[in-house]
Amino acid sequence: MHQARQHAHQHAQTRIRERRHRLAHEAARLIAESGIRDYHQAKLKAAERLGIFDDASLPRNREIEDALREYQRLFQRDNLDGLRQRREAALRALEFFAPFEPRLVGPVLDGTADARSPVALHLYSDDPDAVSMFLDHHLIPAEARERRLRLDRERSEDFPVWVFSAEELTFDLTVLPLDVLRQAPLSQVDEKPMKRAAANQVRQLLADEEISEFERG
């Protein structure tokens, strides 16, 4: 009897894993093809399409991100050129905004960027006007926005954002206080501190890519 229960439990767990896998890949496909950037929305849409409605089968956002990377590698090879273009542009932007301790964040860093993805940077300054003055000084017209970020489990705050176009790309700058340099805001993907990269790390990332391309070629 105990063995039968154990077997049934294992069978149920296997089915849940299979459903999670299917849902993660369907959500990744929706993100890649329709440009949905909200993982939760993509997850629910995928569940509706596949007719899977139990919460246990819903994949984690990180599983969807991994599936998205795999989907892009298999079906959107042209994205790789766009990703490299964005990373090279990000490095130039990091050097340009050096007075603000800039960090690259988001899809361009994690490798899931597509043709719609902006180059997203975090800039750090305790002077709320410093970045806008810097942009004005360099004659860069930028649109002002706001973004809510979670600093930790208890605190969320709104921060100024500047969006502008250069090199036929969109750049998205979030301005944060200097003390946030010590601890990155939480990622919307997995609620862990965001991955961030300074200029030297992006430079290394590009060098590593060149080496791996040379080895593959």
| pLDDT tens digits along 38-93 | 888 888 888 888 888 888 878 888 888 888 888 877 766 666 678 899 999 999 99
Map residue 110 onto helix, strand or coil.
Answer: helix
Could you tell me the CA-to-CA distances from 23 to 17, 47, 188 in Å, in that order? 10, 6, 19
pTM greater than 0.85 (yes/no): no
Q: At 154, phi and psi to the nearest 5?
A: -100, -25
All residues at 6 or more sequence positions from 5 whose CB lies less than 8 Å from its CB, including other chains? none
pLDDT digits (tens, 9 = 90+) for 14-33: 888 888 888 888 888 888 88
What pLDDT score was predicted for residue 124? 98
Q: Which fold has domain 77-215?
A: Beta Polymerase; domain 2 (3.30.460)
Structural domain spans, the chain:
1-59, 77-215
